[in-house]
Amino acid sequence: MTMILHGTSISPFVRKIMLALNYKGIRYELQPLNPYLEKELAHKRHPMGKIPVLEHDKLTIIDSTVIAHYLDDVYPIPPLYPGNAQQRAQIRWLESYAATRVTSLIGGVLFYQKVLRQKMQGKSCDQEAVNQCLTHHLPDVLHYLNQQIPSQGYISDHFSMAEISLWSVFRNGWMSGLRLQPHYPQLHAYLQRIELEPWIANLIAEEDHQLQDFYCEPMILPHPSSS
């Protein structure tokens, strides 16, 4: 039975599951669901009206992390959480950090203000909120990640949910105009390595075709020492 994924691909949480499915070579059907515009339907799918929601074999699985573990349980190869216990712990932590702190800033401030409000809805952007994010909050997050990720390769010996989770939300940042060079070179190089994976490159090409009119001009990040 073909899996059905409910959500919209501009959500980093939906993109995360799309990439996990693609990585495992699992066929699925994306059913568009915008929780902002289709609130009633979203609540029918998810008790909190959120996305993504995955349907498979008469089961409904909610929450992107729960879905990712379900995929590993049902289709264990290739694993989304590879490596030894220490590596898997680090993968899970970075997945959690991406879903919480990183998404709250990149998704909740930059992408919401510059892409959803300004570009897609034609509303005014709260530039003060954007500036506060760029100068006072985001630099600490970027500095931390710049130290956590390896200078070469991935978090474990293989591609993992850490790469998928972090890249998925930073993709929204890129659409918002966020650029990491020259202040965060290790994090920038890490994300560039991820984009060389063929299933990532294919998604980028699809998004560029569909969404490029909504992309923002690059923003200049302040030097970390000035934050």
Give 106-125 pLDDT, tens digit per residue.
Answer: 999 999 999 989 998 899 99
Cα angle, residue 204 at apex, residues 199 and 209 outer, rounded to 5°: 130
Dist CA 45 CA 64 (whole Å): 14
Residue 7, φ and ψ in degrees, nearest 5: 155, -175
> Above 70 in pLDDT, residue 72?
yes
Residues in the chain, how many? Answer: 227
The CATH homologous superfamily of the domain defined by 3-74? Glutaredoxin (3.40.30.10)
Question: What integer pLDDT is reported at residue 43 of this predicted model?
Answer: 52
In the 3-class helix/strand/coil scheme, how is the chain assigned residue by residue?
CCEEEEECCCCHHHHHHHHHHHHHCCCEEEEECCCCCCHHHHHHHCCCCCCCEEEECCEEEECHHHHHHHHHHHCCCCCCCCCCHHHHHHHHHHHHHHHHHHHHHHHHHHHHHHHHHHHHCCCCCCHHHHHHHHHHHHHHHHHHHHHHCCCCCCCCCCCCHHHHHHHHHHHHHHHCCECCCCCCHHHHHHHHHHHCCHHHHHHHHHHHHHHHHHCCCCECCCCHHHC
> Above 70 in pLDDT, residue 7?
yes
Cis peptide before 78 (omega within 30 of 0): yes
Average pLDDT over the chain, rounded to an integer: 89
> Above 80 in pLDDT, residue 191?
yes
CB 64 within 8 A of CB 17: yes
| 85-220 topology per CATH | Glutathione S-transferase Yfyf (Class Pi); Chain A, domain 2 (1.20.1050)
Which band of pLDDT confidence, cut at 50, 70 and 90, is reported for residue 210?
Answer: confident
Edge-to-edge strand ranges of the sheet holding 28-32: 28-32, 3-7, 53-56, 59-62
Lowest mean per-residue pLDDT among 48-52, 80-84, 101-105:
48-52
The CATH 3.40.30.10 domain(s) of the chain lie at 3-74
Q: Give CA separation, 21 vs 24, 30, 127, 214, in Å.
A: 5, 11, 36, 26
Dist CA 94 CA 149 (whole Å): 10
Question: What integer pLDDT is reported at residue 74 of this predicted model?
Answer: 95
Rounded percentage of the chain residues whose pLDDT exceeds 90: 70
Stretch 176-191: mean pLDDT: 93
Q: Which residues, at least 6 apart from 128, have a Cβ–Cβ distance to it below 8 Å?
A: none
Lowest mean per-residue pLDDT among 4-8, 103-107, 202-206:
4-8
> Above 80 in pLDDT, residue 134?
yes
Which band of pLDDT confidence, cut at 50, 70 and 90, is reported for residue 182?
Answer: confident
Which band of pLDDT confidence, cut at 50, 70 and 90, is reported for residue 24?
Answer: very high
Nearest to 191 by CA among 160, 222, 170: 170
> Above 70 in pLDDT, residue 65?
yes
Question: What integer pLDDT is reported at residue 227 of this predicted model?
Answer: 45
Nearest to 110 by CA among 87, 94, 127, 93: 127
The CATH 1.20.1050.10 domain(s) of the chain lie at 85-220
Which carries the bigger pLDDT value, residue 51 or residue 195? 195
Which band of pLDDT confidence, cut at 50, 70 and 90, is reported for residue 58?
Answer: confident
pTM of the model: 0.91
> Above 70 in pLDDT, residue 44?
no
